[in-house]
Amino acid sequence: MTATSALLVIDVQNDFCEGGALAVAGGSEVIAPINKMMESSEISVLSQDWHPEDHQSFATNHQSRNPYELVDMPYGQQVLWPAHCIIGTSGADFHPDLKTGLAQMVVRKGFRREIDSYSAFFENDKTTPTGLDGYLKSRGVTTVILAGLALDFCVYYSAIDAQALGYKVVVETDACRAIDLDGSLDAALSAMRNAGIHVK
């Protein structure tokens, strides 16, 4: 990878891996290929889901609501999730096998209680930035390579936002795993390809 490209490693955290609160099937299988990619990448960035206990995307914070139901929020429809990646818990930690020391930056997202954040670039209102775009532009990055969890949510939203911000975008599906909620995987893959994103 050249200096004009950056590897974005999305949410490889304990709660998204086997045994976690919002486990993605085969989640830990992404770690070995991601570690290898980070070893050859000059710029690597990790994103980290980072929620307060009272986060409004948690089903437990909505009376008579169940996980995976849809609710209307001021910024649009929101999936209600099982409580996960709560600040200061082991579930929010990166998976211990992930070589975090190879990354130059960590972007935390979803820490505002009233709004979820799938993308590593913007919260779900699509206007509140995380600061990642500014960091990458200051490093001269023009291409982003994405890997991690989950392919059909946080990887997908990050890829779409990166494309909209003017980056060339590559998604390494071999280093991703998906939740696949009601066909969300096929929908995400189609949307990315239609947007001109290189889905490998």
The 10 Å Cβ neighbour count of residue 130 is 21
How far is Cα 57 from Cα 161, in angstroms, rounded to an integer? 21
| 154 is annotated as an active-site residue | yes
Catalytic residue among 15, 49, 116, 154: 154
How far is Cα 110 from Cα 158, in angstroms, rounded to an integer? 13
Catalytic residue among 11, 15, 116, 133: 11
| DSSP letter string, 46-104 | EEEE-B-TT-TTBGGGSTT--TT-EEEETTEEEE-B-S-SBTTSGGGSBPTTS-GGG-S
Catalytic residue among 15, 49, 109, 133: 109
| 11 is annotated as an active-site residue | yes
| 17 is annotated as an active-site residue | no
The catalytic site residues sit at 11, 109, 154
